[in-house]
Structure 1
Amino acid sequence: MFKKVIFLSVLILILTTNPGGAEEMKYTNPVGNITDIGDPFVILVDDTYYLYATSMPGLGFKVWQSDDLVNWEEKGMALDSSNPKNRWGEGDFWAPEVVEYNDKFYMTYSARDRDGHLKIAVAKADSPLGPFINTAAPLFDRGMSFIDGHILIEDEKKYLYYVKDCSENIVDGIHMSQIYVQKMSDDFKSLIGEPKMILEPSQNWEGLNNDWQWNEGPYVLKNNDKYYLTYSANVYSSSDYSIGYATADKPMGPWTKAAENPVMTKDLEKGISGPGHNSFVRTKKNNELYIIYHTHTYPEFPSGNRNVNIDKAYFENGKLVIAGPTRRPMSYPDSN
């Protein structure tokens, strides 16, 4: 009789806590036990999520696979520069992003060419796992450094958003990273027309009093006929690295920065340092919008060693709202 009372008490407690009778799955950032990466990018293909990141800066990029955005399995090299077909890039392999188009997968990334400049390249694969093989390496060459290529496909038109890097771009004596946009060819092998500068440091939180300034890591998404471009500002190795956004009515702009920027920034009391360089993905079941971003693995010693985080995002009254950064237990994506 005593055992029966204990069993019923436990059962009542479970049902009271969760009327569905099953324990709700929770996660806490960072996710995936993935460290020493940066610039995480996620794509959903056939009910499976794939993650790419700055992960092998001297060689190429790893790829991870997940069913739930929380638990990730490393699946090897997505792009390997030691492949005889990929003999381009001398190092600094950064910020890979992948788009699917006509059952093929196209990766943009940046690497340092033999002439010492950072340049953007495009690689192609039949599978999101790769192997990605260069098709335009580099995509263009203007005698300066460019990084952080991001492709938007809209009404069969292709646009490339990218960054003129502050390592070589000096404006009025200030090393400045600026974001550009330009149309792409249908085969993703060349750019069309003239480049258009759309964003540069202009808000106080972006370190306007510093000799080095950044607007980088562009990502564009659309909601109700409006375009939202998220970007990161301040140096990646600083706790002040943060995320802002701008809006436009057309992919080419003009773009207007949000007055409420930054929309994601540090919380050192919670151990959150340098949230930045994000991507977005919608979940496979409920179409929930999630932001994927990195933070410093060791917040007291911010550096290039970063980890993967996910949090919900949504639109409210024309504004992009990010429910983060978090370090508390959160419900798994698609848990409702």
Structure 2
Amino acid sequence: MKNTLFIFILVIWALQSNAQSQVPLGDPFILYHEGAYYAYGTHSPYGITVYVSDDLKNWKIPAEAKNGLALHKDDVYAEQRFWAPEVYFVNDQFYMYFSADEHICVATADSPLGPFKQDVKKSMIEDEKCIDNSLFIDDDGKAYLSFVRFTDGNAIWIAELEEDLKTLKMETITPCLHVSQDWEKEMARVNEGSFIVKHNGIYYMSYSANHFESPNYGVGFATVKNIMGPWEKYDQNPILQKPDGLIGVGHSAMFRDKDGELRIVFHSHHDDHKIHPRLMHIGSVYFENVNGEEVMKIGDDILTPTLETK
């Protein structure tokens, strides 16, 4: 009996240790810059968390980031709800797009570790709540921001940006996606977490649907030849839902790894019984010709990274 109890305790300890060693990030984003990977996401009530890795498998909290934060709430708009960051290196400066208290914001830094700050502490749209802002810079250098407005539940819109990459051209705001497919209607009307890539002249927008608390949170995509729309959803969505037994997967972003391969990063629920802290996972992205159409696919090789806790 004692031996059985001892083995049971060891199993529980191992499971808890494994869970604690995974990377606790919701709405994750990965930047590859000068030989290192930087992961940002929703985690801390005080700002935006950052982790660093050289191989995507093993991550650590960088000593250079104070309290493990690339962005602290004292340096930017709002006091709470710091969500869904994305970081880009443009013109020798790092730009972080993020949500704060359900407003879309952008801050800058000289290092991917921060500290990211705003010269003027304000949101990009001051008179309207919006979330999940994502940057896309086209081949001609023109910049666009896709983001969520609360116009039909959570719906995705897009707008052009001024050359400063901080100012929206308000007259260009255009709708992209709203809840329209049967799989998207669980617990709430949600299309969110957009991310745009361009492949062979076609724009692909990945997005997440269903309430993030749903086990059936998942990822679909839409395509268009003109980035301002109209976008058309893939009729076989979702392309990512409950992979390898993970549940609540979504709010994804894509990045190129050190070998130039397209990858996807997304979160899952912590486990079957608990949503938070959500955990980061990484997969591969490829395009497959299906009946003359190139379809975005997610590979089966899902990586669940670990976090150095010492």
- TM-score, with length taken from structure 1: 0.77
1:48 aligned residue: 36
> How far apart are 1:194 and its partner, in Å?
3.0
| SS across alignment from 1:293 | strand
Check if 1:277 corresponds to 2:277.
no
Which residue, 55, 59, 63 being the options, matches 2:50?
A: 63
Shift of 1:326: 3.9
Unaligned runs of 5+ in 1: 1-28, 113-117, 330-336
Q: CA–CA distance in 1 between the matches of 2:23 and 2:32?
A: 19
CA-CA distance at 1:43 after TM superposition:
0.9
For the structure 1 residues 80 and 177, does the alpha-carbon distance in structure 2 shift closer, same or farther, using more than 3 Å as the test?
A: same
Which residue matches 2:263? 290
Residues 30, 308 of structure 1: 8 Å contact kept: no
Shift of residue 289, structure 1, vs aligned partner: 1.5
Counterpart CA distance in 2 for 1:194 and 1:292 is 29
Tell me which structure has the larger Cα radius of gyration: 1
- Displacement of 1:252: 1.4
Long gaps (5+) in structure 2? 1-17, 63-67, 306-310
For 1:79, the aligned partner's letter is L
Classify 1:51/1:31 alpha carbon distance in 2 versus 1 (closer, same or farther; 3 Å). Answer: farther
Query: What is the RMSD of the two structures over their aligned residues, measured on CA atoms?
Result: 2.1
State how far apart, in whole Å, the 1-side matches of 2:270 and 2:230 are. Answer: 36
AA paired with 1:101? V
Whether the 8 Å CA contact 1:31–1:308 is kept in 2: the answer is no
Percent of aligned pairs sharing the same letter: 38
TM-score by structure 2 length? 0.84
> CA-to-partner distance for each residue in 1:87-145, whole Å, 9 max, x for gaps?
52121110011111011110011111xxxxx2111100111111101146211123x32
Check conservation: 2:57, 2:304, Cα contact below 8 A. no
Q: Which residue of 1 aligns with 2:190?
A: 214
Decide whether the 8 Å contact of 2:282 with 2:303 is kept in 1.
no
Question: Cα–Cα, structure 1 residues 189 and 283, in superposed 2: closer, same or farther, change >3 Å?
Answer: closer
What is the correspondence of 1:26-175 to structure 2 with a 5 Å cutoff? Answer: 33-35=22-24, 37-56=25-44, 58-75=45-62, 76-82=68-74, 86-112=75-101, 118-135=102-119, 137-142=122-127, 144-154=128-138, 155-165=140-150, 169=151, 171=152
SS of corresponding position for 1:133: coil
Aligned partners of 2:136 and 2:143 also within 8 Å:
yes
For residues 33-61 of structure 1, give each alpha carbon's deviation from its aligned partner in whole angstroms, at most 9, with x where no partner exists: 212x20000011112111000011x2111
Describe the superposition over 1:239-266 as per-residue Cα deviations: whole angstroms up to 9, x where unpaired: 0100000001122122100011000002
CA distance in 2, matches of 1:199, 1:219: 12
Q: Displacement, 1:327?
A: 7.4
Change over 3 Å in CA distance of 1:161–1:179 after alignment to 2: same
Report if the CA contact (8 A) 2:73-2:80 is conserved: no
User: Residues 198, 266 of structure 1: CA spacing in aligned structure 2 closer, same or farther, 3 A cutoff?
Assistant: same
CA distance in 1, matches of 2:111, 2:70: 9
